[in-house]
Structure 1
Amino acid sequence: MSPNTPNPATPTPLTRRALGGAAAGTAAALALGATPAEAAPAGAGTAAPAPAERPFRAAPGRHSRRPNILFVLGDDLGWADLSSYGSPDIRTPHLDRLARQGVRFTDAYSGSATCSPTRFSLYTGRYPGRTKGGLAEPIADRSVGLEPSHPTLASLLKGAGYATALIGKWHCGYLPDYSPTRSGWDEFFGNFGGALEYYSKLGLGGEYDLYEGDAEHKDLRYYTRILTERAAEYVSRDHDRPFLLNLNFTTPHWPWITDGDTETSAEIVRRIKAGDRSALWHQDGGSLAVYKEMVEDLDRSVGRVLDALRRAGRERDTLVFFASDNGGERFSHNWPLAGNKGSLQEGGIRVPSILRWPARIDGGQVSDLPVYSPDWTATLLEIAGARPHPGYPLDGTSLAGHLLRGTSVPERDLFWRVRGERALRRGDWKYYRGSGGRDQLFHLSEDVREQADRAGHEPGRLAELRAAWERTNAGLLPYPV
């Protein structure tokens, strides 16, 4: 049963699934309605009641041109870091509005628990373990990357007549061998590595890491501002064909630097130049207040890009998707999920995910369908009329029929593997083995926090899911010793 977010003015009974999936029920409902600033004039007391979400239902029979695709990723954004997912402190009115205008997914996952393998799963539509570069968790040197010969979402859409661009964080390999422009994107503006200092653009090894195409581009302004400006310019152009824009923010990834905080920036740059390779990790800095400001800045930035899209007259015919590349980090609000980035517990892989396409999909909806990164690759290819390469079969399942025509999605397994951990979800059941080596079984609709291990009560189901994980794992590349 899909959860309905209750109208606080009219209490509605919540199922156990709704309590877990709707991210603290009433908090999410308040956020999905107008924010206090939007709903009430200055000096007014409280916001107007929020409209209730309704379970997802397709609206078949509509027709439209092939959509533009704007695929936005936040970086290390936790599942409940948006007010529409239950954050008690962070306010994200632009992303909340996007959710009101489309579909909010409560049970959506990243393809892995860290940055680059998730990007491999999204760009290729396949498990990260299909390729050598996807085995790095994450990529930290120049030895591996996304091979230019491997088909990607961009190369396949380009072959189907799309213009393609990637703005922001690539993190799938370094020059001279790996680059978005070698993997199907017509244009690239952004950084190659996993992190950078927001002003100086110095990366983890102290290298300068801001590029236009494959050439360095000098701009020492705050990085999120630059990416927002570039993306707004791209969606505003006079395009003569549909486009794919991958917009990959680094916000709110460490280091914990807000727009205008040049003092913290200068201190981190000093440490980087002194040879401190841990400076960008910023483990001695940050706070809940700084993190809140960074997430709210991400929200405003997405809002500016969406506004540019609207002003260009492309809102109706553009499919916008927003998600995080993996679960939240140190300052994230993941409640009620356990674990965070790097773990295959729910907090490490369950991510906020919002889809809007006004021409084909009604707004104000919520879905508890389990989905993850490779599914979106398959879905976008089908919607855009592009075919997967027969030599590189997809591991994701297209949701196009479900979203546009209301067809059911067959039960299938969502599979994850990282060094030291394994997980598989089938329906409401999740098989999980952590670094301790113990097989566990959780019923997520009743226990989204993964605290009630049902392995002893369901030995047959545990064996079945473990065997399914082993079968998939057998077809993947082994980790290097």
Structure 2
Amino acid sequence: MSTNFIFIVADDLGYADLGCYGGRAPVSPNLDALAARGARFVNGYSNSPVCSPTRFALMTGRYQYWVRGASEEPMAGRARGNPELGLFPHLPTLPSLLKEKGYHTALIGKWHLGYRPHFGPEKSGYMHHFGPMSGGVSYYGHNARGEGSDMELDGEPYDEPGYLTDLFSKRAVKYVKDRAADQQPFMLSLHYTAPHWPWETRAQGKIDPEIVKDISHLDGGNVETYQTMIREMDEGIGWVVEALRETGQLDNTFIVFTSDNGGERFSDNWPLVGGKMDLTEGGIRVPYIVHWPQGMAEKGFASEQHCMTMDWTATILDIAGASLPAGHALDGVSMLPTLQNPGHTFERPMHWRMKHNDQRALRLGEWKYLKVNEHEYLFNIERDARERANQAKRDPERLRAMRSAYEAWAAQVPAVPEDAMVSLIYTLADMPSR
């Protein structure tokens, strides 16, 4: 029997927001239960500290820097109609490779990988899509920055009333039940916009005209609203898990939950510092919960294995036995050996760059090299998760070696285009240090 896959992505969730990662509010009983029956990865990272680049990496299983659109941080409004700023249809993707393997593929939720007519979910391997094309949209008006609804259904403009998080969850439940009825293996990308701004909850029950005018409303929101948004997403995930159980598909379904980047202003990233848009740990370290009763050797374990977003693309393709096109290679590394043997870990170098503040980083074992503008840092992350004790002067040889390793990697990927746009909405000053 083929394994089904559900890849769940939260938007701007902090590392410690969930109970199973030390969260202080009871917002995630369903995700906590999945972790208790599966695994948590405590050294997991996103491919980028901002949304779209991470999604490019998830789709391709490669560093996002190979795709022009991933240099936009995040993709700005000028991406609309731009033939260069998006996920090119000719690129092999996770859904396209699984589709070739006989899987039904669906994206329920956020796309944010380029606009029509040049790009779209169905052009990159998804057989079904319901959700917004852009990044943040309002949870009741479903609009982006004062425009009309940004929602689509299978390539056509479509909208229906309701709280967006619940609409995604209910669609996912229906999708799971439909696949059980037709007995076709599936890969579902369930990409929530929660808990990304605008900060709205189910209890509001109606469109907020102020949010329709300005969905970013960076003077709005609060911790309680943010936590409620996480809880409502968690409830929906519980509905999906129950649908899998009712249809006899739970044991045979590989579920991954993560975030596209580190948290924003209301997130709990403890003990990490920084957040979205920064290559400090708070901007890139994210939760990874894996639930797969049929294929995992143990349950309820916490893995120290280092990993990043594109590694889970490689893992899914590995489990499915999907073939890559001739000459095509992934940058992602399969985590299947660790899932089958929790005591097994291996060295996993991970690289990042951001045009915003000319940031670059390399995590190698317990050490991290970080450069922000002209300032260089060397941190032992295992002993100093808050990145407060700069070892650059104490260990100059290691600093030189890690700088050289980073530069050797950077020489292999395309440079950031000079005209790439950077959003300055998010700044470190907005991030709590706790």
Q: Give the count of matched residue pairs.
A: 408
Distance in 2 of aligned mates of 1:399 and 1:262 = 41
Aligned to 1:355: 290
**What's the CA shift for 1:205?**
5.8
**What's the CA shift for 1:404?**
2.2
The residue type paired with residue 425 of structure 1 is: R
Distance in 1 of aligned mates of 2:206 and 2:189 = 31
Comparing 216-225 with 202-211, greater Cα deviation is found at 202-211
**What's the CA shift for 1:241?**
2.5
Tell me if structure 1 keeps the 8 A contact 2:39–2:300.
yes
**What's the CA shift for 1:264?**
6.9
Aligned to 2:404: 467
Aligned to 1:243: 186
* 1:363-383 residue CA offsets vs partner (Å, 9 max, x unmatched): 111111111111111111010
Aligned to 1:429: 367
Q: Which is greater in Rg?
A: 1
| 2:55 is equivalent to residue 114 of structure 1 | no
Distance in 2 of aligned mates of 1:171 and 1:125 = 17
Aligned to 1:5: none
Comparing 392-401 with 96-105, greater Cα deviation is found at 392-401
**What's the CA shift for 1:224?**
0.8
The residue type paired with residue 11 of structure 2 is: D
Equivalent position SS for 1:246: strand
| 2:212 is equivalent to residue 261 of structure 1 | no
Root mean square deviation of aligned Cα: 1.4
Aligned to 2:107: 166
Call closer, same or farther: CA 1:393–1:207 in 2, change over 3 Å: farther
Structure 2 gap ranges (5+): 419-434
**TM-score, normalised on structure 1?**
0.83
Runs (4 or more) in structure 1 with deviation over 6 Å come to none
The residue type paired with residue 121 of structure 1 is: A
Identical amino acids, percent of aligned pairs: 43
**TM-score, normalised on structure 2?**
0.91
Counterpart selection for 1:374 from 292, 310, 322: 310
Aligned to 1:131: 67
Equivalent position SS for 2:35: helix
Equivalent position SS for 2:305: coil
Tell me if structure 2 keeps the 8 A contact 1:68–1:244.
yes
Equivalent position SS for 2:182: coil
Counterpart selection for 2:231 from 293, 296, 299: 296
Distance in 1 of aligned mates of 2:221 and 2:291 = 33
* 1:179-209 residue CA offsets vs partner (Å, 9 max, x unmatched): 1100011111111101101111111362421
Call closer, same or farther: CA 1:132–1:373 in 2, change over 3 Å: same
The residue type paired with residue 451 of structure 1 is: R
The residue type paired with residue 299 of structure 2 is: G
* 1:89-130 residue CA offsets vs partner (Å, 9 max, x unmatched): 243111100000100111101111111000001110111111
Tell me if structure 2 keeps the 8 A contact 1:175–1:214.
no
Tell me if structure 2 keeps the 8 A contact 1:401–1:407.
no
Aligned to 1:70: 6
Distance in 2 of aligned mates of 1:131 and 1:210 = 25
Equivalent position SS for 1:66: coil
Counterpart selection for 1:182 from 123, 130, 154: 123
Structure 1 gap ranges (5+): 1-64, 273-278
Aligned to 1:89: 25
Tell me if structure 1 keeps the 8 A contact 2:306–2:348.
no
**What's the CA shift for 1:406?**
6.2
Distance in 1 of aligned mates of 2:210 and 2:348 = 49
